Structure formats: C-alpha cells, structure tokens
C-alpha cells in the first residue's frame, strides 16, 4: 500500500504534493506497523495553533514569530545537536515522537504549518544546512527551524554558509532559490541515504534511492546514483534498467552520450 502511495506521488504535479503527508508516508516505509492517524492529528493541532495565534500576523516577520512560538516553544521541536547523524532525525514520524530532527525534517513542519494557514513558505537551496523563507519579495525573512526557528540575517547567512561548506564558500543566488516539494523530499531521503553509504550499507542506500526515483522519476541525476549503487552490488541488469530510464529523462546530448557509454560498459561486463 505504501509503495503504491509512492507511485501515486511520483505521478502528481509538484504543487499537488502535500509535503507533510508525503514525508509521513516516506517515514512509514521504515515503520510499516505505524498508524499514521496520531501523526496527522499532531500536524492538524500544530496548524490549528498557528491559525489561532497568527490571526493578526500580517508581515513575514510576524508570521515567522508565530511559527517559532508554536513549533519551538509550545511543541518543543528543536535541532538534534547531540545525535545529529541518527537516521531517526530524517524520519518525520520519529521527529514528531522525539521532538527533534535535522534541519530539512523540521523545515517540513514549519512549511506545512505556514502553508496550511495561507502564508507563503519555501525551502531554500542552501548547501548542507536547510533554511526556509517566509513571505515573498523584499519583506520576506529567512528562518532556521533547526535553531528554534530563529531568524537569519544576511551576515549570519554568510557565517553559516562558511561553517557548513568551508571558509572559501561564497553565497550564490542559487542558494536562495526556492526548492520544489519533490526536491525537499529528495533532500530528506538523501540525508539517510548518504549516512547509509558512509556506513557501507549499500543495500540500504539503494532502497532509499529506489524511493527517490519513485517519487521524482524525471530527476535525471537520481537514476545515475541508483545505477551506481546497483552496479556496486553486482546488480548489472538493474543498473542497465536504471540507466535506460535515465536516458528517457534527459535531452542533454552530452549526458545522453555519457549514459550510452555506461550502458556499453555494462554490456561488456556481462559478456
């Protein structure tokens, strides 16, 4: 049933994706006996609190303050600094249970609550440390759900970027571009997949990449990573299938040629 949910999710237009609900479904794949009803009720409670508290919140700064008050102060959601690499920090069910998680998981809660009451909220393409933007235009504000929903100034943004990406890193316009709902979910899954691969658990990493390609079948690079893991596990036929799927997602001639060369290499390895 949950696998069917992933397939349906992959067929949706991006703006039709319910970000929090999708994250719950992804979390349930690793906790198949979990009843999602209590988690949905928590999300509804959060949204109700934001709605009531935010009645007079007109500016993005005021809206961000409401989100911080509800999610961080009342519900106790915070960044997990002590066990940051725990996979539970990227599973929204565990995040709700434990009231702590990674930046992207906590951001999904903030974004979902803001959108539920009609506010504008987006995840940003910042490397390593996920941030959100509340509002649009020059009056918008940046917020850090991992840091108890604190606002982030331009100077703090530069410091944060250098801390997570190295002292040579410089803020790029692309870092502040909003991410699609699919891209946010992929980033959530990729957090777990990267840790699995670092632990040399390639089968687990592959499972997560299979989920990524299910919900974002048109993201070309995901198929390449999936094929790489399949080849590493000796699943050559599966790797060829993934590369063939990748070929269907791109019109870039250079990438197409790279895929064809990889397919030829796999064919030679079979022969």
Q: Are 122 and 106 in contact (CB under 8 A)?
A: no
**In-domain check, residue 206:** no
Do both 62 and 160 map to the same domain? yes
163: phi then psi, degrees, rounded to nearest 5 = -70, -40
Mark whether 262 and 139 lie in a shared domain: no
Dihedral pair phi/psi, residue 133, rounded to 5°:
-115, 130
DSSP 11: H
User: Residue 211: inside a domain, yes or no?
Assistant: no
**What does pLDDT average to over the chain?**
92
In 29-146, where does DSSP find H-type helix? 37-53, 60-67, 92-98, 103-116
Q: Is residue 190 part of a domain?
A: no
Number of domains in the chain: 2
Task: Say how many Å lie between the first and final Cα of the chain, rounded.
Answer: 39
What does the pLDDT read at residue 265? Answer: 82
Q: Is 239 found in the same domain as 162?
A: no
- Which residues, 6+ apart, have CB-to-CB distance to 125 below 8 Å? 174, 175, 176, 177, 178, 179, 183
Same domain (yes/no): 120, 253: no
Same domain for 134 and 260, yes or no, is no
CATH number of residue 165's parent domain:
3.10.620
In a domain, 205, yes or no: no
> Which residues have CB under 8 Å from 143's CB, separation 6+?
64, 67, 68, 110, 131, 132, 133, 134, 149, 150, 151, 152
Whether residue 201 is contained in a domain is answered as no
pLDDT digits (tens, 9 = 90+) for 84-130: 999 999 999 999 999 999 999 999 999 999 999 999 999 998 887 89
Tell me the whole-structure pTM to 2 decimals: 0.93
Q: Is residue 256 part of a domain?
A: yes
Which of residues 114, 145, 176 is at a domain's end?
176
**One domain, residues 224 and 156:** no
3-state secondary structure of 196: helix
263: domain range? 218-270
203-260 pLDDT, tens per residue?
A: 999 999 999 999 999 999 999 999 999 999 999 999 999 999 888 888 888 888 888 8
pLDDT reported for residue 167: 80
In a domain, 68, yes or no: yes
Whole-angstrom Cα distance, residue 128 to residue 103?
9
The verdict on 10 and 138 lying in the same domain is yes
Residues 130 and 12 occupy one common structural domain? yes
My answer on whether 162 and 242 are in the same domain is no
Domain boundary among 142, 157, 176: 176
Q: Are residues 23 and 127 in the same domain?
A: yes
Q: Are residues 155 and 224 in the same domain?
A: no
Q: Which helix (H) or strand (E) holds 150?
A: strand 150-152
Q: What is the DSSP letter of 78?
A: E
Q: Could you give the CA distance from residue 263 to residue 55 in angstroms, rounded to a whole number?
A: 57
228 and 126 in a common domain: no
DSSP string, 114-128: HHHTT--EEEB--SS
- Which tens digits make up the pLDDT trace of 165-194? 778 777 788 888 999 999 999 999 999 999
């Amino acid at each position: 049933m949950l696998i069917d949910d992933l397939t349906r999710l992959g067929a949706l237009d991006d703006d039709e994706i319910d970000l929090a609900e999708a994250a719950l479904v992804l979390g349930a794949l690793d906790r198949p006996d979990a009843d999602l009803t209590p988690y949905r009720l928590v999300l509804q409670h959060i949204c109700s609190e934001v709605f009531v508290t935010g009645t007079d919140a007109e500016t993005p700064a005021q809206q961000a303050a409401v989100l911080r008050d509800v999610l961080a102060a009342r519900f106790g959601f915070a960044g997990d600094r002590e066990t940051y690499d725990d996979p539970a920090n990227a599973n929204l069910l565990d995040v709700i249970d434990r009231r702590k998680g990674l930046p992207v998981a906590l951001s999904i809660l903030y974004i979902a609550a803001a959108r539920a009451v009609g506010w504008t909220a987006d995840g940003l393409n910042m490397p390593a440390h996920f941030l959100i933007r509340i509002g649009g235009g020059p009056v918008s504000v940046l917020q850090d759900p991992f840091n108890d929903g604190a606002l982030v100034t331009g100077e703090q943004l530069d410091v944060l970027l250098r801390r997570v990406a190295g002292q040579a890193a410089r803020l790029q316009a692309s870092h502040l571009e909003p991410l699609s709902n699919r891209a946010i979910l992929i980033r959530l899954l990729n957090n777990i997949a990267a840790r699995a691969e670092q632990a040399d658990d390639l089968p687990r990493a592959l499972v997560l990449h299979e989920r990524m390609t299910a919900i974002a079948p048109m993201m070309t690079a995901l198929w390449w990573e999936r094929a790489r893991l399949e080849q590493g596990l000796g699943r050559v036929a599966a790797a060829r299938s993934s590369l063939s799927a990748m070929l269907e997602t791109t019109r870039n001639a250079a990438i197409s040629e790279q895929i064809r060369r990889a397919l030829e290499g796999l064919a030679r390895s079979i022969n």
